[in-house]
């Protein structure tokens, strides 16, 4: 098993998107990339902790590649809006790839460059690619939030 961590706006919809991919064995939502230990959702929402809302994915690389997960990442949000997705604004909603290995870093950078060249977006991609840091699991009511409510996606 391998681990991947992505921030692409509100973690509820991001988790649901990745959870459904064959080869993804587990998803957990939480916070990464900030300066406060053990932040709560309320802390992160102050926009003062530096954390992003993320989904941490455990996947079987024999069933789904990291590159395939990157493709899902790019197609599941707008990587050109700085610190926002739809109506959600703040650094916690930033577009970010947290890499866990040098191979993930190389793949993420190559994928971002490919997306930049694709012309899919008229504005520049602002997605951060940064080393994974401490992951803090979000409160239980955030885990599989949409699934618990019988929803497939957030309404933006």
Q: What is the pLDDT of residue 144?
A: 87
* Contact of 97 with 6, CB cutoff 8 Å: yes
Question: Any idea where the domains of the chain sit in the sequence?
Answer: 2-148
**pLDDT of 63 strictly over 70:** yes
**pLDDT of 47 strictly over 60:** yes
- Positions marked active-site: 10
Q: Exposed (0-12), middle (13-18) or buried (19+): which is 23, by Cβ within 10 Å? A: middle
Under CATH, to which class is 2-148 assigned? Answer: alpha beta
* Contact of 63 with 23, CB cutoff 8 Å: yes
User: HSE-up of 98 (CA within 13 Å, CB side)?
Assistant: 23
**pLDDT of 75 strictly over 90:** yes
Q: What is the pLDDT of residue 45?
A: 93
């Amino acid at each position: 098993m391998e681990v991947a961590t992505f921030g692409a706006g509100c973690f509820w919809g991001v988790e649901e998107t990745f959870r459904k991919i064959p080869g993804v064995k587990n998803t957990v939502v939480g916070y990464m990339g900030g300066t406060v230990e053990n932040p709560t959702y309320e802390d992160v929402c102050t926009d003062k902790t530096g954390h992003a809302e993320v989904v941490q994915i455990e996947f079987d690389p024999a069933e789904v590649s990291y590159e395939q997960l990157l493709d899902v990442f790019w197609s599941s949000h707008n990587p050109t809006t700085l610190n926002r997705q739809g109506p959600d604004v703040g650094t916690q909603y930033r577009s970010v790839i947290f890499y866990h290995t040098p191979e993930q870093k190389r793949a993420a950078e190559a994928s971002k460059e490919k997306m930049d060249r694709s012309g899919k977006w008229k504005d520049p991609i602002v997605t951060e690619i940064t080393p994974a840091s401490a992951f803090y699991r979000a409160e239980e009511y955030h885990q599989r939030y949409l699934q618990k409510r019988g929803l497939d996606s957030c309404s933006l």
